[in-house]
């Protein structure tokens, strides 16, 4: 059976005990596998599961600041390139 080229998987980290709280990090992994060439895995956090005895588990969302910063930098780069291209066409 062949493995898929692109897959998305949720992973659980090692639970951490702090007093009566049990905190478990959760992440999403985007996996790209290209046969005979290799591939890459991109992990990103998405939540923390907090458990307290006698209460239901609570999921707390995590904002991935690194990913947001990368998208911002890419956007600024594309905008700058577009503006410079337009100004170079206007000057000619």
From residue 50, how far is each of 13, 25, 41, 85 by CA, in Å? 13, 9, 26, 50
Q: Is the pLDDT of residue 1 over 70?
A: no
Burial of 70 (0-12, 13-18, 19+ CB in 10 A): exposed
The pLDDT score that the predictor gives to residue 92 is: 67
- pLDDT tier at 2 (50, 70, 90 boundaries)? low
Contact present, 52 and 20 (Cβ < 8 Å):
yes
19-66 pLDDT, tens digit each: 999 999 999 999 999 888 888 888 888 899 999 999 999 999 998 888
The pLDDT score that the predictor gives to residue 81 is: 96
- pLDDT tier at 80 (50, 70, 90 boundaries)? very high
The pLDDT score that the predictor gives to residue 49 is: 96
């Amino acid at each position: 059976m062949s493995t898929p080229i692109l897959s998305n998987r949720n992973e659980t980290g090692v639970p951490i005990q702090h007093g009566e709280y049990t905190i478990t990090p959760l992440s999403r992994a985007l996996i790209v596998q290209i046969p005979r060439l290799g591939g890459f895995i991109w992990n990103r956090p998405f939540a923390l599961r907090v458990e307290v005895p006698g209460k239901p588990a609570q999921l707390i969302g995590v904002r991935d600041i690194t990913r947001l910063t990368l998208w911002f930098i890419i956007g600024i780069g594309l905008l700058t390139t577009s503006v410079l291209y337009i100004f170079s066409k206007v000057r000619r």
